Amino acid sequence: MSRRLILAVYTLLISVPILVIVGSSLKTTKELFAAPFGLPPHPTLDNYATVLGEQDLLRVLGNSVLVVSVSVPVTLLLGSLVAFAVARLPKWPSAVLFGVFAIGLAVPAQAIMIPQYVQFERLGLRNSLTGLILVDVVVTLPVAVFILAGFMRTLPPELYEAAEIDGAGPWATFRRIAVPVSYPSLAATAIFLLVMHWNDLLYPLLFIDDPEKRTLPLALLDFQGEYLTDYPLLFTGVVVASLPMVLAYAFLQRHFVAGITAGAVKG
């Protein structure tokens, strides 16, 4: 097979389902089943009205935005502080600190979710967005440390030492040297965290009972039960849940690719 043919086929495989999803969100079920690949004959926003109104997806969207706007900066800050310590501590303390967080890379969330459920329940942190934010932070901290320390360790020590000779304490060195210099790595980590926290289903499923506190992936999953074969409505939910990430990807493509690829260590 020629190069062009393979690429053309794969382009169709990726784009056709996505276009069908977007098109279907503007159709009725009848129209979709009659011609799944066709353009919407009478484009309608009824599905969007149902999803955002009756289904309260606007509130759910707000929850998701709230969660990531706290969880991502907090993870980033805590992770970069550890990464800085790993980069600046002498060999052994640095290795121990890094090793403690490396354990977290090897332990999948599915293996600890059950004791976490008990713990959060006891502390009254279950069924709350605060609890969800907290668990998102701790579960992704190891990856953030891994990516950021990997970067900060490669910076020449002279860079930090110069600042320290000028009398800067560790906090000033962190803020004025380490953070600005690590910008590409911080951006990639931020994007990785954003995608992980935005798309997570496991913890919302485990932690959130109250429909008003659901995040997007959980609300989408509930849709499936409610509208078993109302595909246009399901797809409208998919579009609403995906649009923010897809738009961000369109504008910050390089950071998305770098971040998601770097985060692959966690699977």
CB of 131 to other proteins, least distance (A): 10
The string of DSSP codes covering 126-167 is TTSHHHHHHHHHHHHHHHHHHHHHHHHTTS-HHHHHHHHHTT
Closer Cβ to other proteins, 178 or 213, answer by number? 178
Question: Vertex 160, ends 162 and 102: CA angle to 5°?
Answer: 170
Give, as ranges, the residues between 181 and 220 that touch other proteins (CB under 8 A): 195, 198-199, 201-202, 205-206, 216-217, 220
Span of 43-51, 53-61, 65-73, 94-102 interacting with other proteins by CB under 8 A: 94-102
Site string for other proteins, 17-36 (x = CB under 8 A): xx-xx----------xx--x
Q: Using the rule CB under 8 A, is 261 a contact of other proteins?
A: yes
CB of 120 to other proteins, least distance (A): 8
Q: Using the rule CB under 8 A, is 124 a contact of other proteins?
A: no
CA distances from 174 to 9, 87, 106, 144, 181 (A): 49, 11, 28, 16, 10
Residues 6+ apart with CB under 8 A from 102: 142, 146
CA distances from 237 to 129, 152, 233 (A): 21, 40, 6
Residue of 72, 134, 163, 177 that binds other proteins (CB under 8 A)? 134
Closer Cβ to other proteins, 58 or 246, answer by number? 246
Determine whether 77 is exposed, middle or buried from the number of CB atoms within 10 Å of its CB (0-12, 13-18, 19+): middle
Residue of 9, 15, 45, 184 that binds other proteins (CB under 8 A)? 15
**Cα(267)–Cα(256) distance, rounded to whole angstroms?**
16
Residue of 42, 106, 210, 212 that binds other proteins (CB under 8 A)? 106
Q: Using the rule CB under 8 A, is 69 a contact of other proteins?
A: no
Contact (CB, 8 A) for 192 and 147: yes
CB of 168 to other proteins, least distance (A): 11
If you search the block for the tokens 């609890």, which residue do you land on? 131
Residue of 143, 174, 177, 213 that binds other proteins (CB under 8 A)? 174
Q: Using the rule CB under 8 A, is 143 a contact of other proteins?
A: no
3-state secondary structure 59-80: HHHHHHHHHHHHHHHHHHHHHH
Q: Using the rule CB under 8 A, is 67 a contact of other proteins?
A: no
**Cα(49)–Cα(121) distance, rounded to whole angstroms?**
36
CB of 46 to other proteins, least distance (A): 19
Q: Using the rule CB under 8 A, is 159 a contact of other proteins?
A: no
Closer Cβ to other proteins, 57 or 206, answer by number? 206
